[in-house]
């Protein structure tokens, strides 16, 4: 018995940062993201009564803690299915683990879907997002199609991937695993004196992103996304201990983007819990921006993508 699922990573336009319930991974506020076509995880879960324990195989190698987290997610699904079968999990990413791209979203979305399938659970998409969320918060946004909103316990599609031909040009500036995991960062969010301010500003910013998506107003979308990225990093940098995810190359690229915009090109940036920069633009600007970037960096060009699905 085996099932294979593929799931995209996603980039948050409105970030999830901080959780009011760490165990249930419940966010303080809603977040909005876009699935990424070129950053995917493919996971196969195989069950056999010959297996005496769960085993996990990953082409990039897993730490002991990561294996434990995978098995915890399997346990949840196994329990819900009322099964005692052990599993062999094989997983691979379309991008190198060492590229420092967060793979927990695509990873836990693919794992949850493949495991639910092979254990015979009949879950609605909403229920799947709730399950994936327990593995990694942002994983719930990698289940639905295209442009996705996560609110409270579950995530849902706002618009399908074909709705708007945007690009996320991911610039990889450091090939290393991040120093501070986002899990640890979520837990100390209240130590920033600016977190309360962020929560006050979020409802209006979320409305702007939703309106920009509805009207396909790229400028409105880019401005709100970039503002939210800077706001989240401001909170991160003022947490105790401070979380400083940017490096010199991150800042060089951010400044270039601001400069390109001043010269009339509609282009914006957003950054997650790491130094890599996501450049947001519309499809017709892709070539021009790649040319401006030159050959100094490794880039991954993403389009909006469908959500997790069984292969």
d(CA 217, CA 222): 9
Do 41 and 16 contact (CB within 8 A), yes or no? no
The reply to whether 12 sits near ligand PMV by the rule CB under 6 A is yes
> Taking the complex as a whole, how short is the minimal distance between the CB of residue 294 and ligand PMV, in angstroms?
27
The alpha helices in 87-157, defined as continuous H runs, are: 104-118, 125-135
The alpha helices in the chain, defined as continuous H runs, are: 64-81, 104-118, 125-135, 182-187, 195-215, 218-237, 248-262, 286-293
Name the token pair of 213: 């998506």
First vs last C-alpha separation in the chain: 14
Residue whose CB is less far from ligand PMV, 39 or 118: 39
The reply to whether 154 sits near ligand PMV by the rule CB under 6 A is no
Which of these ranges, 75-83, 121-129, 181-189, 196-204, lies near ligand PMV under the rule CB under 6 A? 181-189
205: left (phi over 0), alpha (psi -120 to 50) or beta: alpha
The reply to whether 31 sits near ligand PMV by the rule CB under 6 A is yes
> Taking the complex as a whole, how short is the minimal distance between the CB of residue 230 and ligand PMV, in angstroms?
13
Among 104, 157, 239, 270, binds ligand PMV (CB under 6 A): 104
> Taking the complex as a whole, how short is the minimal distance between the CB of residue 245 and ligand PMV, in angstroms?
9
Q: By rule CB under 6 A, what string of x and - marks binding of each residue 129-148 to ligand PMV?
A: -------xxx----------
The reply to whether 273 sits near ligand PMV by the rule CB under 6 A is yes
* Strand stretches in 24-84, DSSP E: 26-27, 31-48, 55-58
The reply to whether 153 sits near ligand PMV by the rule CB under 6 A is no
Footprint on this chain of ligand PMV (rule: CB under 6 A)? 12, 15-17, 31, 102, 104, 136-138, 182-183, 186, 272-273
């Amino acid at each position: 018995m085996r099932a294979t699922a593929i799931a995209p990573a996603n980039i948050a336009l409105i970030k999830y940062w901080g959780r009011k319930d760490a165990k249930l991974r419940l966010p303080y506020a809603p977040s909005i993201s876009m699935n990424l076509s070129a950053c995917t995880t493919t996971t196969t879960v195989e069950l056999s009564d010959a297996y005496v324990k769960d085993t996990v195989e990953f082409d990039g190698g897993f730490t002991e803690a990561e294996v434990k987290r995978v098995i915890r997610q399997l346990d949840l699904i196994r329990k819900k299915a009322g099964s005692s079968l052990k599993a062999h999990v094989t997983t691979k990413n379309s991008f190198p683990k060492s590229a420092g791209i967060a793979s927990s979203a695509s990873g836990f979305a693919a794992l949850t879907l493949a495991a639910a399938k092979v254990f015979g659970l009949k879950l609605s998409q909403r229920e799947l997002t709730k399950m994936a969320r327990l593995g990694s918060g942002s994983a719930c946004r990698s289940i639905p199609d295209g442009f996705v909103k996560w609110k409270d316990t579950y995530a849902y599609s706002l618009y399908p991937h074909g709705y708007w031909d945007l690009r996320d040009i991911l610039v990889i500036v450091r090939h290393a695993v991040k120093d501070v995991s986002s899990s640890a960062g979520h837990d100390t969010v209240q130590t920033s004196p600016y977190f309360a301010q962020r929560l006050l500003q979020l409802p209006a910013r979320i409305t702007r992103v939703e309106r920009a998506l509805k009207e396909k107003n790229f400028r409105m979308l880019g401005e709100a996304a970039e503002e939210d990225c800077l706001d989240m990093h401001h909170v991160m940098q003022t947490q105790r201990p401070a979380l400083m995810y940017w490096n010199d190359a991150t800042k060089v690229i951010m400044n270039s983007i601001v400069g390109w915009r001043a010269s009339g090109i509609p282009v914006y940036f957003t950054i997650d819990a790491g130094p890599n920069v996501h450049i947001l633009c519309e499809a017709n600007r892709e070539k021009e921006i790649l040319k401006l970037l030159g050959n100094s960096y490794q880039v991954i060009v993403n389009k909006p993508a469908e959500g997790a699905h069984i292969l």
